[in-house]
Amino acid sequence: MERVEIMGPAPSTYTRVARMVCEEKAILYDFKPVPPHSPEVNAIHPFGKVPVMRHRDFELCESKAIATYLDLSFPGPKLIPTDPRHAALTEQWVSLVNTKMDGTLVRTYLLNYIFPKGSDGAPDRKVIDAVVPAVKEELDLLDRAVAKGGFLAGDSFTFADINLMPILAYMKNFPESGAAMAAAKSLSAYYDRLAARPSFQNTTPPRR
């Protein structure tokens, strides 16, 4: 079967998600590190966002859609469960992370460190200090969720875990979120356990 092509920047959490799906299912793929709004991305995503995918003559955008296509099209472990309740829980957590937590943890907190907008070129402390309570609240919610069965959606590894892990990788490396992660014992243990998976190790982005 022809190789899949995944395109997007390596540091992008959603690009890493698409690559982790390929790794988990042992799908042969080529990774092309290109930025958002590049010609390759704009040709597939109507808003120039990453990642995008090409398989044979089929092109697709949005990480959840890409994951669903790969999971249905290729052999290997099912990452989106077939049991209705387990599938619904997986979808629930993917939606919670993508529609709410990504905005708090990544778009507001993380990006203010990575792309500082303070007047002196430093992170904007007002923005960071304002969002820290929500960061702690959401990490605590995740801590309680994984404490139940050891995974985000039930008691086995699913796409919901893949979708979360790249975000947690960043949360461990910044002051307030790192302290909150250290205090969240179940979440820290969950992260350490899943970070040992080859899919996570093989998609680690280069250090900035």
**What are the pLDDT digits (tens) for 114-148?**
999 877 888 999 999 999 999 999 999 999 999 99
Range of the domain at 88: 84-201
Q: Are residues 161 and 191 in the same domain?
A: yes
Residue with more model confidence, 117 or 193: 193
- State whether residue 16 is helix, strand or coil: helix
102 DSSP assignment: I
CATH code assigned at 52: 3.40.30.10
pLDDT of residue 28: 97
Q: Is the CB of residue 90 less than 8 Å from the CB of residue 80?
A: yes
- The angle formed by the CA atoms of residues 45, 153 and 174, to the nearest 5 degrees, is 70
Cα(43)–Cα(47) distance, rounded to whole angstroms? 10
The residue type found at 90 is T
pLDDT of residue 1: 63
CATH code assigned at 169: 1.20.1050.10
Q: How confident is the model at residue 113 (pLDDT cuts 50, 70, 90)?
A: very high
**What are the pLDDT digits (tens) for 29-79?**
999 999 999 999 999 999 999 999 999 999 999 999 999 999 999 999 999
The span from the first CA to the last CA of the chain, in angstroms, equals: 35
Q: Are residues 113 and 175 in the same domain?
A: yes
Q: What is the mean pLDDT of the chain?
A: 96
Q: Is the CB of residue 174 less than 8 Å from the CB of residue 168?
A: no
Q: Is the CB of residue 4 less than 8 Å from the CB of residue 54?
A: yes
Q: Are residues 90 and 184 in the same domain?
A: yes
Q: How confident is the model at residue 2 (pLDDT cuts 50, 70, 90)?
A: confident
Q: Are residues 67 and 93 in the same domain?
A: no
pLDDT of residue 14: 98
> How many beta carbons lie within 10 A of that of residue 65, not counting itself?
12
Q: How confident is the model at residue 8 (pLDDT cuts 50, 70, 90)?
A: very high
pLDDT of residue 158: 98
- State whether residue 177 is helix, strand or coil: helix
Q: Are residues 24 and 114 in the same domain?
A: no
Cα(35)–Cα(33) distance, rounded to whole angstroms? 7
- State whether residue 87 is helix, strand or coil: helix
Q: Are residues 42 and 126 in the same domain?
A: no
pLDDT of residue 207: 82
% residues pLDDT > 70 (the chain): 99
Tell me the mean pLDDT in the region 161-190.
98
Bond from prior residue into 175 cis (ω within 30 degrees of 0)? no
Q: How confident is the model at residue 86 (pLDDT cuts 50, 70, 90)?
A: very high
Q: List the beta bridge partners of residue 6.
A: 31, 53
